[in-house]
Structure 1
């Protein structure tokens, strides 16, 4: 995949997205390209600093360039978002504002270090929390305000706190 195609791989999926989310995703892809090689990290350190200050501090989006995200990623509204660097997100996924995807804290206050894995075609509603060493399989919708602490099977709709599956079907695609 060429540089331009890599950087713009999510643009088409975000064409109907009038918010800053599509720009955040483009800046994220550029940062991912830069950190692939030590030389580009040195040459473009200024961009990585710009990315951190602009995206994390001003836009309140914690989206590390270490995070693995598949193509056609949609980021709606792009604010109040925290995605742990160890998180893996599949292709054709969408995440809405004020969502946290990260590690779980145990009773002693220590963090597990194991972040969630989201499959392909996962739709995460706003104000959702997905934490721990869990897997959200393909074709899953997570309702707004849900707190997900257990894995969710493919072709499911999960809502609530804690999230529970309200619909599951092999034909839900």
Structure 2
């Protein structure tokens, strides 16, 4: 994949989302410098700019070391926090006020960061914490606290999140309190 194709790979997934386009372009450039050691020294001023601009202006804490697949969508991009080692697959969507991080062990060390598969749709105000895997084709409802693995083709809602298999043959609606998630 060429440099410009790499940088702009998320633009179609963020058609009406200028802030998402700008963030993802800046993220992809920073990610390029961080992953290509031969360009890392040249990229240090840019990486400093990225950290200040993204954290202070965009209110996002998404380090350039995060692995994000193609066609990533960031809706209402603010107050999203991710650990340095988070891995996100292709065609994923993250909404505002979401935390994806690690658990701190009793001895002060941190565990592994979460891994999100392909086609994962994360609602707003979600916490995904610990050495867990969210498999492919998962929807996580708003306000969920996910602390356990979620199998593929599931919807996860609640605190702590409970996962239910999605029946693709039916048009389902899952009601959680006053909120509904249409599938």
Q: TM-score, normalised by structure 2?
A: 0.87
CA contact (8 A) 1:155 1:171 kept: no
Moved more, 87-96 or 33-42: 33-42
Deviation readout 1:104-151 (Å, 9 max, x if unpaired)? 134x37343311110000000000000101110100000001000000
Quote the offset at 1:45 in angstroms: 1.5
SS at match of 1:130: strand
The separation in 2 between residues aligned to 1:171 and 1:111, in whole angstroms, is 45
**Is the 1:103–1:111 contact (alpha carbons within 8 Å) kept by the matching residues of 2?**
no
Which residue of 1 is the match for residue 55 of structure 2?
Answer: 56
The yes-or-no answer on 1:78 pairing with 2:77 is yes
Q: Answer yes or no: is the 8 Å Cα contact 2:94–2:122 preserved in 1.
A: yes
Tell me the CA shift for residue 56 of structure 1: 1.4
Kindly report the root-mean-square deviation, in angstroms, between the aligned alpha carbons of the 2 structures: 1.8
- Structure 1 stretch displaced more, 66-75 or 160-169: 160-169
User: Contact between 2:30 and 2:43, CA under 8 Å: does it hold in 1?
Assistant: no
- Where in structure 2 are there 5+ consecutive unaligned residues? 171-182
Q: Distance in 1 between matches of 2:93 and 2:108?
A: 29
Higher mean C-alpha deviation, range 51-60 or range 160-169 = 160-169
CA distance 1:16–1:111, change in 2 (3 Å): farther
- Tell me the alpha carbon deviations over residues 4-51 of structure 1, each in whole angstroms, 9 at most, x when there is no partner: 100000111111325x12211110001111123334222222111110
Residue pairs, 1:80-119, within 5 angstroms: 80-106=79-105, 108=106, 110-119=108-117
Q: With a CA cutoff of 8 Å and minimum separation of 6, indicate the structure with the bigger relative contact order.
A: 1
**1:133 counterpart residue number:** 131
TM-score scaled by structure 1?
A: 0.91
Q: Any residues of structure 2 matched to 1:1-173 within 5 Å, and which? A: 1-18=1-18, 20-106=19-105, 108=106, 110-169=108-167
Number of aligned pairs?
171
Cα deviation, 1:63-106, whole Å, max 9, x if unaligned, reads 11111110000011111011111111000000000100010134
CA deviation profile, 1:153-172 (whole Å, cap 9, x unmatched)? 11111101000124434668
Partner Cα separation in structure 2 for residue 171 and residue 132 of structure 1: 32
